[in-house]
């Protein structure tokens, strides 16, 4: 069953068109990795789904309802949570406070401070530390935890591993695997193709605002992805 659908989406910043007629459907329980070079439109697409960027054209449909005009906070209560690029924590709040901020009264479910700390054990000893003093990996874990606190039906993860040491990325992905195993629906931006292919069922590659390749992770070989990523045609 399709949970999230993007239909002919156009997003602009002034004259600059960042997303050009993108259509995408994500099924309940599916994990989709979005890849593409800088400026391909990945972050803008995520922001448009989350309600942080108003599209110029097209539709965003969630669970059968057109939410194109719904503000971001309304989408959170519907069950869409974004982990933004750069984490964007409240630096002066503690780990626990950052998590609690995101617990809306209306959405009950499996996630609370305790269960988030269980999935992200690296946060356990940091619980009362202010976010500004955390390492990049710990901040990323808090940002994902904060998104989970709203008990989302779809989790949008932008640049999961950007700026993190490989060993920290491993830890974040181990926790993420637990989240996915529980049936979460996830759309994530990941630059590391090997990792994206491992964690996602489906991979979508964007180039200059358009989807240029889409397929089951198991059916995509690296050469095809490379050609799509760089916008190359296979040599004749």
Partner 1 sequence: MDAAVLAAVDVRKHFGALAVLDGVNLTLNQGEAVGIVGPNGAGKTTLLSVLSGSLTPEAGSVVYRGRDVTSKGAADRCKLGIARTHQVPRPFVGMTVFENVLVGATAGGKRRGADAYGLCLQVLEECGLTDLANRRAEGLGLLQRKRLELARALAVEPAVLLLDEIGGGLTDAESAALVETVAALRGRGIAVMWIEHIVHVLMQVVDRLVCMDAGRIIADGPPAAVVSQAAVIDAYLGSRA
Residues lying near partner 1 in the complex (CB under 8 A): 13-18, 35, 37-39, 191-195, 208-209, 222, 225-226, 229-232, 235
- DSSP characters over 60-105: EEETTEE-TT--HHHHHHHTEEEE-TT----TTSBHHHHHHHT--S
Closest Cα to residue 226, out of 200, 203, 199?
A: 203
Residues 202, 214: contact at Cβ < 8 Å?
yes
Q: What is the DSSP letter of 235?
A: P
What is the rounded distance in angstroms from the CA atom of residue 93 to the CA atom of residue 98? 6
* Nearer residue to partner 1 within complex by CB, 67 or 225: 225
Nearest Cα to Cα of residue 107 among 153, 48, 61, 160: 153
Shortest reach from residue 93's CB to partner 1, in Å: 28
Q: Which is nearer to partner 1, 126 or 202 (CB)?
A: 202
**Residue (44 or 94) nearer to partner 1, CB:** 44
What Cα–Cα distance (Å) separates residue 235 from each residue in 150, 220, 224? 48, 18, 12
Least Å from the CB of residue 97 to partner 1: 31
Residue closer to partner 1 by CB (options 146, 195) is 195
Three-state SS for 201? coil
Shortest distance, CB of residue 15 to partner 1, whole angstroms? 5
Identify which of residues 157 and 184 has a Cβ nearer to partner 1 in the complex: 157
Minimum distance, C-beta of residue 226 to partner 1, in the bound complex (Å)? 5
Smaller CB separation from partner 1, 147 or 225: 225
**Nearest approach, Cβ of residue 135 and partner 1 (Å):** 16
DSSP 135-177: -HHHHHHHHHHHHHTT--SEEEESSTTTT--HHHHHHHHHHHH
CB of 37 to partner 1, least distance (A): 5
């Amino acid at each position: 069953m399709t949970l999230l659908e993007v239909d002919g989406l156009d997003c602009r910043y002034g004259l600059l068109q960042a997303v050009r007629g993108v259509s995408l459907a994500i099924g309940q329980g599916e994990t989709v990795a979005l890849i593409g070079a800088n400026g391909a439109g990945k972050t803008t697409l995520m922001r448009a789904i989350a309600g942080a960027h108003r599209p110029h054209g097209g539709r965003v449909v969630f669970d059968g309802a057109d939410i194109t005009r719904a503000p971001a906070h309304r989408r959170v209560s519907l069950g869409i949570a974004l982990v933004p690029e750069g984490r964007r924590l409240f630096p002066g709040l503690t780990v626990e406070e950052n998590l609690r901020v995101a617990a809306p009264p209306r959405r009950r479910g499996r996630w609370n401070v305790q269960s988030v700390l269980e999935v992200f054990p690296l946060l356990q000893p940091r619980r009362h530390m202010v976010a500004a003093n955390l390492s990049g990996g710990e901040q990323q874990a808090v940002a994902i935890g904060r998104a989970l606190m709203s008990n989302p039906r779809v989790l949008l993860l932008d640049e999961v591993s950007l700026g993190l040491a490989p060993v920290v990325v491993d830890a974040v992905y181990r926790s993420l695997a637990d989240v996915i195993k529980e049936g979460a629906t996830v759309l994530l931006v990941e630059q590391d193709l090997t990792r994206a292919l491992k964690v996602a069922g489906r991979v979508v590659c964007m180039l200059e605002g358009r989807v240029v390749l889409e397929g089951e992770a198991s059916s995509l070989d690296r050469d095809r992805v490379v050609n799509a990523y760089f916008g190359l045609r296979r040599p004749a």
